[in-house]
Structure 1
Amino acid sequence: MSHPHNTNPSRRALLKQGAALAAGVGGLMVAGPTIAAPRATPAPKFDEIFDIIVVGSGFAGMSAAVQAAEEGDKVLVIDKMPVFGGNSTINGGAMAVAGSDHQAKAGIEDSVELMVSDMLTSGRGMNDVEMLKLVCDGTAESARWLESYGTVWKPFVQHFGGHSLPRVLQTRESSGAGIIRPLIAAAKKAGVTMYKQTKLIEFVQDGQQRVVGVKVKSGYFFPKEKSGSDKLLGARKGVIMATGGFGRDIPFRQMQQPRLTSELDSTNHPGANADALKQMMLIGANPIHLDQIQLGPWSSPDEKGFGTASQFNTAATYQNGIVVDVRTGERFFNELADRKARAEAIMTRRDDQGQPVYPIGFTNEKGAAKAQTLEWGLKYDVIKKADTLDDLAGLYGIPADKLKAQVAQWNQFVRDGEDKQFGRPLMQAFELTEGPWYAVRMWPKVHYCMGGVRVNTHSQVLHLISDKPIAGLYAAGEATGGIHGASRLGACAVAEGVVTGRNAARSAVKADALSLKLA
């Protein structure tokens, strides 16, 4: 017997609908489980309405917000954490730029095509080539754009692992704060509204399944999931997801890579989880490369998080020094290989019980001259100083004769202009002839998620089934997947974030503006 208030279709109507699906609608045959048609719902009423809502306040989010504000749109940025900037603020502030003014001054001939080639090689050919070209092509102009808002680069170009030549610019501060702070200031000056402690709960879609806003928890205190109060925020043109990766979401990352257990530390901030990614997937976003999770090969087991060793190893050890196995005093990989190759090489250093045998990376005073975290690393005993190679060997239990022989061999490679052990590029290499020496123990940490949602070159999020854009939904930065393939080259996260954030904003501002209602 039917209930008088039952709003479900009758059995006869359901049979008719099933027959229509079986026969095919509009010439399209439907096989397997059917997808229910969207229910007609009343138009939502919002607590606040903007043209564009940006979720996340890192490189991609702030670049999107400033770009959209430049073009006259009313923009809101929300972030669930108590401070803006996310991982970007604690990032090393290094941006790979093809054809920068700094390269030209240094006489370095680079090209977009070469940067694309380097990233394809690092990515093991898994990269989304069209998105890769878009990012590389936008780096030089975006670096100048950042400069126009107050970012200051160091007056030299660096050579990071996996790049064919020096193309890395780094902020004066050696941190992403040198980019984020100027962009936040520019956003506020342009009238962008910014709410922290505001967590995305779910998307709001209209009857045509277009994303028209977000439901959030306002006054949210991470990680207290019951904190905050519900609000509906409307977006006339679209929502840009710039929510980063999930490196600190241990259960989710283990679903993708079981070996990345809680025993492996991460450089990410505590809020770097998969919550926003899951919400995009729930409305049909296509997740790709989620199992491609990068380990940072420059980290130390002697400190938590990003720490002081990361910048020291990036600026000093890998560019100007060598890394050795403490048991043999010998090198065992190319210090300027891509991150995946270096991290995997380091992870092979284990004893008979499978426990880590931490390698030592070191350089001399000349090599450490540009390492801004050296003083702090020494203070917290993460970086150690030794006057002689014998002293250095004693600190870490390395056979002194083997260590000195390896350094002598390295110096010969530099004189010959060829690394006969591992083929390391020697463009900026110099002989390690005298101390004092600075060294650090090394072990990788979870650092970056190459996987995320699939987007097109307009930064529109693509649907899992149709491969067509989910109307009103855009994504940029680490929230997207496919650009880096199996391994991201160093300094390409900033490049990707800034270029794709601006690209998403340019696409969103062109969208037709809906007429939404306030509560």
Structure 2
Amino acid sequence: MLIGSNDPRFQNKIPLNPFGENKMSTNRRDFLKLAGAAAAAITSTAAAHAGVPASSVAKFDDEYDVVIIGSGFAGMACALKAGQAGKKVLILEKMPTVGGNSAICGGNVACPVNPVQAAQGIKDSKELFIADCLKDGLGINYPNLLGTIADRCNDTIKMVVDCGCEFVPNKMLFEAGHSVPRSYEIKAGTGSGYIIPMHNELKKLPNVKIMTRAKFDDFILDENGRVVGVTYRKGYRFDSKLQSDDIENKSGRPATVKAKNGVMLAAGGFSRDIFFRQAQDPRVVPTTDSTNQPGATAGVLIKALGIGAQPVQLCWLQFLPYCNPREKGFGVSVNFTNHACMDLGLVVDRKTGKRFMDEHAGRKIKSDALFKVIGTDENYPIAICDDAIVKAINPSFVKLPLEMGTVKKFDTLEQLADAFGIPKQALLDEVAKFNGYVKANDDKDFHRILTFNKGLDVSKAPFYGIEVSPKIHHTMGGVMINENAEVISANTHKPIPGLYAGGEVAGGVHGASRLGTVAVIDALTFGMIAGENFAKMQ
């Protein structure tokens, strides 16, 4: 689906770059040009390119049972399950280090109906989890995939714990957009808390090989359309200045590898692919900042579309509403703004001193609200919390932002108001009103769920404030998969033989916008499922 003038998102004429460098100036000619490019990416690639015929490969350079493209959550989970079953596995990673976005993400993970919830009397259900995801996803999520995650998430958690992943004991996070606390908090504070132990576990398996600076180039298909291998380049060197690693960068030595059982796509999203993301949404111009690592490009996705994979919801791009406009990329402030200020504190318009949204709503709802306040004059809202809240969250979330100066600390709310140019009395009145809502467990303005604040309000000095602006974070769309992580063909409506996918390269799970902590369980679970399927093959 392409964006058209009837898309409700197109009605908000707001800048998407937190640095204010990309005021929306796309005219009709530009839009039609970009829309045509998107159409070409989705529908014409099959005509222009359909993989490499196996008959043209005189001899494969190597042979494995399973070839995995990408070394993040989905790729490592797949490799674990297939490798532990004795399969010969090769992971190809184009970047110089493993992990991709998975290694730098927040790392907390949703798991509905888990043992910690049961022990704490938190009532959850598969149906409630799906309903929460559908609400923020605007109802266009695929419930069958959400149901698969709910059914298998406890198996997924066991898999990573068995590898040595550590969660904060007996703690459930109440993430934005969720109706109840259902997310485990990773001790490491980032996705490295999975990647490092999973990587260590894979290194113990002599039948699993991980190659970095090894860039996937194309699929190799037999006469029946089955994926039987890939072409790739050894010694590849990614160059972010080129913006597209598939068109201009010719580094590396070509090689071929046979995949007896099949190929797993775990290549992540395309938030850093300047051309492809703007083709999907022309408002996201080249200067729009992203939280993703530089290698988050669309090359693997484009090649999958080229061999007939069904595209799903490619134009839905998600912004993360917890970012700071004074630091580039993901930065160090996201966890603080999320868990201290939006989970437990409040956010105000610096011009009025008033709240303007439910701080615990889903990411799309909050990003849209933030952009309206930011407008064209960079009126960045201020997220606020107090000392009691800071002491209640993970202390590591506060340390770096304070050192970097993105979070400011004040003895009084009056000092905070002066520092950020907020009307003083208006802020004091708004904080007092918010504190009253917390005490009464009733947000009369925005109907925020306050039950899990457990009495924490914004009343105990010192006080903390930080500017907030969304950045592009997650690309919702990708290839269509089924409950078995098999990639679906746009031509036959059946699985493409020998091709699996999981994580951000696959679409449908999250719909228009995903809830926090669901991406981690999505990638790990469908990676695990793909690995289980490979393990069963002869």
Give the TM-score normalised by structure 1. Answer: 0.89
Superposed counterparts of 1:85-484, under 5 Å: 85-155=99-169, 156-191=171-206, 192-223=208-239, 225-351=249-375, 354-369=376-391, 370-429=394-453, 430-484=456-510
C-alpha contact (below 8 Å) 1:462/1:469 kept by paired residues: yes
- 3-state SS of paired residue (1:317): helix
C-alpha contact (below 8 Å) 1:199/1:216 kept by paired residues: yes
Quick one: distance in 1 between partners of 2:196 and 2:425?
49
C-alpha contact (below 8 Å) 2:53/2:220 kept by paired residues: no
Letter in 2 for 1:160: E
Quote the residue 2:526 is aligned against: 500
Residues 129-151 of structure 1: CA distance to partner in whole angstroms, max 9, x if unpaired? 11110012211221122111111
Quick one: distance in 2 between partners of 1:337 and 1:128?
21
Quote the residue 1:19 is aligned against: none
Q: Shift in Å at residue 43 of structure 1?
A: 5.5
Q: Shift in Å at residue 350 of structure 1?
A: 3.5
Letter in 2 for 1:507: N
Letter in 2 for 1:509: A
Letter in 2 for 1:214: V
C-alpha contact (below 8 Å) 1:47/1:233 kept by paired residues: yes
Q: Shift in Å at residue 104 of structure 1?
A: 2.3
Superposed counterparts of 1:65-80, under 5 Å: 65-80=79-94
- 3-state SS of paired residue (1:199): strand
Larger deviation, residues 291-300 vs 96-105: 96-105
- 3-state SS of paired residue (2:529): helix
Larger Rg: 1
Quick one: distance in 2 between partners of 1:282 and 1:502?
26
Q: Shift in Å at residue 89 of structure 1?
A: 0.4
Quick one: distance in 1 between partners of 2:374 and 2:516?
26
C-alpha contact (below 8 Å) 2:68/2:79 kept by paired residues: yes
C-alpha contact (below 8 Å) 2:75/2:527 kept by paired residues: yes
- Count matched residues: 478
Larger deviation, residues 93-102 vs 292-301: 93-102
C-alpha contact (below 8 Å) 1:311/1:371 kept by paired residues: no
Residues 418-442 of structure 1: CA distance to partner in whole angstroms, max 9, x if unpaired? 0001010012222221210111100
Identity over the aligned pairs, expressed in percent?
A: 39
- 3-state SS of paired residue (2:388): coil
Q: Cα RMSD over matched residues?
A: 1.9
Richer in helix (by share): 2
Superposed counterparts of 1:26-45, under 5 Å: 41-42=55-56, 44-45=58-59
C-alpha contact (below 8 Å) 2:388/2:460 kept by paired residues: no
Quick one: distance in 1 between partners of 2:58 and 2:151?
40
Shift in alpha-carbon separation, 1:441–1:202, aligned structure 2, 3 A: same
Residues 377-427 of structure 1: CA distance to partner in whole angstroms, max 9, x if unpaired? 111111111110000001100011000000100111111110001010012
C-alpha contact (below 8 Å) 1:474/1:508 kept by paired residues: no
Q: Gaps (5+ residues) in structure 2? A: 1-46, 240-247
Residues 331-357 of structure 1: CA distance to partner in whole angstroms, max 9, x if unpaired? 000011000000110010135xx2321
Quick one: distance in 2 between partners of 1:180 and 1:204?
29
Shift in alpha-carbon separation, 1:42–1:411, aligned structure 2, 3 A: closer
C-alpha contact (below 8 Å) 2:485/2:530 kept by paired residues: yes
Quick one: distance in 1 between partners of 2:324 and 2:296?
20
Q: Shift in Å at residue 39 of structure 1?
A: 7.5
- 3-state SS of paired residue (1:132): helix
Residues 44-99 of structure 1: CA distance to partner in whole angstroms, max 9, x if unpaired? 42111110011101111101100111222111111000000000000001100112
Shift in alpha-carbon separation, 1:200–1:388, aligned structure 2, 3 A: same
Quote the residue 1:4 is aligned against: none
- 3-state SS of paired residue (2:390): coil
Quote the residue 2:535 is aligned against: 509
Give the TM-score normalised by structure 2. Answer: 0.86
